[in-house]
Amino acid sequence: MYDFDSPAPRAGSGAIKWDIRGSAFGNADALPFWVADSDYMSPPEVTEALADAAKRCVFGYTSPTQGYKNAVAEWIRARHGWEIDTGWIVPSTGIVSELSNIVRCFTKKGDKVLIQAPVYDPFAGVVKTAGRKLVKNMLIRGDGLRYTMNFEDLDHKLSEGVKLMILCSPHNPVGRVWREEEVMTVARLCQKHGVILVSDEIHWDIVMPGNSHFTAGRAGTPDNLIVLTAPSKTFNIAGLKCSNDIIPGKDLRERLVEWKGKRHMEGPNNLGVIACEAAYTHGAKWCDEQNEYLAGSAALVREAFASHLPQIGVAPLEGTYLMWLDISETGLDSRPLCEKLAKAGAILNDGWRYGDDGFVRLNIACPRAQLEAGLAVIVKVLGEVLGK
């Protein structure tokens, strides 16, 4: 069994989540449940591969090897049931910067780009800063806070000149793992309207028991599809700057590679490549155990609210390690509420940034003891606000 209970020594390491608590939230001692990375150690297989690389003392210019690409393809085949050609892999240095490249490469100023809100805030950011027009297809908040897609509205909006759609799958922050029919419908609608579908699947390995991720790669619409993947969330190596675009269509792939080449965009960091190959080669068991650990943590969160504060709704966590909490009964918006929480000792993300001020986001990828300590603060503060 791997160890998820021992905390990683992050404070003072430059970790954004830990080291800007004082400057960003006014409480340098608050427990952090915000930035989407993990507070336990990366898999030993990954750190050993990095240590071996350090011992070799060779750090010159490199590019991802065929062995690396085989490891990426094998992970995708074994985990996600998608047989890819290694020639479809376009290594990149991170998903957000790649999204920005993709938006700029395939659309022009003023073109419409569609996202489904609420959603991870940089989606809107990359569209707006590129001078493209943001179109929103709002998710439907269903019974028990399980979100679904509004396909009628999606069909209509895509028909009105949208050039590119960014799908978040699994979804940050609402926690959905989209079912096969949902992904197929999105892919078919994009194909029907000639829209490029960019599916951000960075969270695709983090799936709770009883759920199964269906990659857009299997939807049968390869010519207008870009799937963005990374080992960064799964194995807690976001700082190593390595991700992979999977682009089956020759035309889209060549256009993007040429676009980036002309702008002198470099490939991923060599140590990131080494970590990614080791993670995809040796990390399956660690990944499964992490999912079980996270499922146990999610159950703890649900129980804490059900028994102490049933007024706080908890969206079912199907995938990701990010829990979406309905705080609308408190009568406070998410930003002032998050300020109160930070002052009292727990830093969460306000829902406002994702497009819903009645929610906050809780990152549970940490040792159980840290989560328990944080929950005690959260339950106390929310209880006071609710007058309990």
Determine if 200 is a binding residue for ligand PLP (CB under 6 A).
yes
Span 66-105, contacts to ligand PLP by CB under 6 A: 94-96
Determine if 202 is a binding residue for ligand PLP (CB under 6 A).
yes
Least CB distance to ligand PLP at residue 217 (A): 17
Determine if 139 is a binding residue for ligand PLP (CB under 6 A).
no
Judged by CB under 6 A, how many residues of this single chain contact ligand PLP?
A: 13
Beta bridge partners of 361: 324, 349
Least CB distance to ligand PLP at residue 104 (A): 16
Determine if 177 is a binding residue for ligand PLP (CB under 6 A).
no
CA atoms within 13 A on the CB side of 304: 20
Least CB distance to ligand PLP at residue 94 (A): 4
Note if the bond before 9 is cis, omega within 30 degrees.
Answer: no
Least CB distance to ligand PLP at residue 1 (A): 27
Which residue in the set 230, 271, 287, 348 belongs to the binding site for ligand PLP (CB under 6 A)? 230
Nearer to ligand PLP, 231 or 358 (CB): 231
Least CB distance to ligand PLP at residue 159 (A): 26
Which residue in the set 42, 107, 116, 172 belongs to the binding site for ligand PLP (CB under 6 A)? 172
Determine if 39 is a binding residue for ligand PLP (CB under 6 A).
no
| Residue window 151-170: x/- pattern of binding to ligand PLP, with contact defined by CB under 6 A | -----------------x--
CA nearest to 293, candidates 380, 209, 176, 170:
209
Determine if 232 is a binding residue for ligand PLP (CB under 6 A).
yes
Determine if 317 is a binding residue for ligand PLP (CB under 6 A).
no
Nearer to ligand PLP, 256 or 304 (CB): 256
d(CA 258, CA 334) in angstroms, rounded, equals 43
Determine if 189 is a binding residue for ligand PLP (CB under 6 A).
no
CB 197 within 8 A of CB 190: yes
d(CA 93, CA 268) in angstroms, rounded, equals 5
Span 252-281, contacts to ligand PLP by CB under 6 A: none
Least CB distance to ligand PLP at residue 306 (A): 27
CA nearest to 346, candidates 314, 307, 381, 319:
381
Nearer to ligand PLP, 291 or 330 (CB): 291
Least CB distance to ligand PLP at residue 365 (A): 11
**Interface ranges with ligand PLP (CB under 6 A):** 36, 94-96, 120, 168, 172, 200, 202, 230, 232, 238, 243
